[in-house]
Amino acid sequence: MSELSYRQALHDTLREEMLRDESVFLIGEEIGVFEGSYKITAGLLAEFGPRRVRDTPICEEGFVGAAIGAAMLGLRPVVEIMTINFSLLAIDQIVNHAAKIHAMFGGQVSVPMVIRTPGGGGQQLGASHSQNIEVYYAHAPGLKVVTPATPADAKGLLRAAIRDDDPVLFVENLSLYNTKGEVPDETGRIEIGKAAVAKEGRDITVVAYSRAAVIALDVARRLEAEGISVEVIDLRSLRPLDRETVCASVRKTSRAVVLEDDWLSFGVGAEIAATIQEGAFDYLDAPVRRVAAAEVPLPYAKPLENAALPNADALIKVIREILDDTRYQR
């Protein structure tokens, strides 16, 4: 095991996969000479040259479309979109082409490409640059959507995504880039569509992904000292969604909270709540609760931005409410 930052784990995995397979190439805005807005691609242009690290104009629809064509012809492009908010400029290419070509062509051609993109708030980037819109893409059959929360998962899931024959949206939260954790030295992959039991517990299940999974794990460790045992499920993948791991946890604990950075309405939390209702309803001792962002365009002012985003205190409050209510009933 080595301790790496989330940023370094992504960089190292890209480099390893490019060394392993000459069909892997990188394409996106300012990923070469400038080495990427968040320096994930630092040094790769110098090592692999402009044929495999391709700077593009500011035209998301154009370079995502070019990557789709390259993937159809046998290459394995890894696209970097500077922020998930800019993916909206290429949503037709992603949803109507990358996601559908394999099915519409009767399985005769695949689109083995990865779209890497950061998202999330908390960085004072304004409402149009701070969104968590991965649910837009998780809604579309034909795409895979992964959201690693740790450096180890970033490495294992990126390697799996690059080697996958389907298009994968790989969502990175900006607040995670400098976080550190132990990363296996071996070149293993993490199965896309398999959630992780980040911490086992007996009293309540918290389901989360990306930055929210880090918050959930911190809360679980803090509450352990008070005798509250919280099980944390890190989804890791939004499509495919590991419904069985979620339901199995709730069948054990009988209580559930979903924590997400996205807005409350029509989001991942709503899908998880419905999943639990269908797969573990008879085991529930309390309604499924959700903790999410305020339903407003995220403010720029730091105090307002912090107030709009879910945090550990909000999650702890809901956990206590659920446990107090159900303990009183018994």
pLDDT score recorded for residue 327:
63
Report residue 276's pLDDT band, with 50, 70 and 90 as the boundaries.
very high
Residue 261's CATH number? 3.40.50.920
Do 236 and 322 fall within a single domain?
yes
Do 214 and 179 fall within a single domain?
no
Residue type, 75: L
Phi, psi for residue 238 in degrees, rounded to 5:
-95, -30
Report residue 226's pLDDT band, with 50, 70 and 90 as the boundaries.
very high
Do 179 and 321 fall within a single domain?
no
Integer Cα distance of 214 and 206 in angstroms: 11
Report residue 272's pLDDT band, with 50, 70 and 90 as the boundaries.
very high
Beta-bridged to residue 173, according to DSSP, are 119
Do 179 and 203 fall within a single domain?
no
pLDDT tens column, 53-62: 999 999 999 9
Do 277 and 240 fall within a single domain?
yes
Average pLDDT of span 136-145? 97
pLDDT tens column, 179-208: 999 998 887 899 999 999 999 999 999 999
Asked whether the predicted pLDDT for residue 330 surpasses 50, the reply is no
Domain boundary among 124, 150, 183: 183
Share of the chain above pLDDT 90, in %: 96
pLDDT tens column, 74-97: 999 999 999 999 999 999 999 999
Asked whether the predicted pLDDT for residue 44 surpasses 80, the reply is yes
In a domain, 189, yes or no: no
CA 143 to chain centre: 13
SS3 of the chain = CEEEEHHHHHHHHHHHHHHHCCCEEEEECCCCCCCCCCCCCCCHHHHHCCCCEEECCCCHHHHHHHHHHHHHCCCEEEEECCCHHHHHHHHHHHHHHHCCHHHHCCCCCCCCCEEEEEECCCCCCCHHHCCCCHHHHHCCCCCEEECCCCHHHHHHHHHHHHHCCCCEEEEEEHHHCCCEEEECCCCCCCCCCCCEEEECCCCEEEEECCHHHHHHHHHHHHHHCCCCCEEEEECCEEECCCHHHHHHHHHHHCCEEEEEEEECCCCHHHHHHHHHHHHHHHHCCCCCEEEEECCCCCCCCHHHHHHHCCCHHHHHHHHHHHHHHHHHHC
Number of domains the chain is built from = 2
Do 200 and 178 fall within a single domain?
no
- Please count the other Cβ atoms lying within 10 Å of the Cβ belonging to residue 278: 10
Do 87 and 211 fall within a single domain?
no
Average pLDDT of span 244-272? 97
Do 42 and 159 fall within a single domain?
yes
Residue 16: partners with Cβ closer than 8 Å, 6 or more residues away: 159, 187
pLDDT score recorded for residue 187:
73
In a domain, 188, yes or no: no
Residue entry with tokens 């992504």 = 10
- Please count the other Cβ atoms lying within 10 Å of the Cβ belonging to residue 193: 16
Q: What is the mean pLDDT of the chain?
A: 96
Contact present, 231 and 202 (Cβ < 8 Å): yes
Phi, psi for residue 93 in degrees, rounded to 5:
-65, -40
Do 247 and 175 fall within a single domain?
no
Query: 219 lies in which domain range?
Result: 196-329
Residue entry with tokens 């090592």 = 47
Report residue 117's pLDDT band, with 50, 70 and 90 as the boundaries.
very high
Residue 148's CATH number? 3.40.50.970
Do 204 and 175 fall within a single domain?
no
Do 204 and 317 fall within a single domain?
yes
Domain boundary among 158, 183, 208: 183
Contact present, 5 and 13 (Cβ < 8 Å): no
Do 92 and 175 fall within a single domain?
yes
- Report the b/e string of 31-52 with b at 16+ CB within 10 A: bbeebbebebbbebbeebeeeb
pLDDT score recorded for residue 188:
84
Domain boundary among 183, 206, 223: 183
pLDDT score recorded for residue 1:
84
Catalytic residues: 60, 129
Report residue 107's pLDDT band, with 50, 70 and 90 as the boundaries.
very high
State how far the alpha carbon of 263 is from the alpha carbons of 170, 173, 269, 300, in Å. Answer: 20, 15, 9, 17
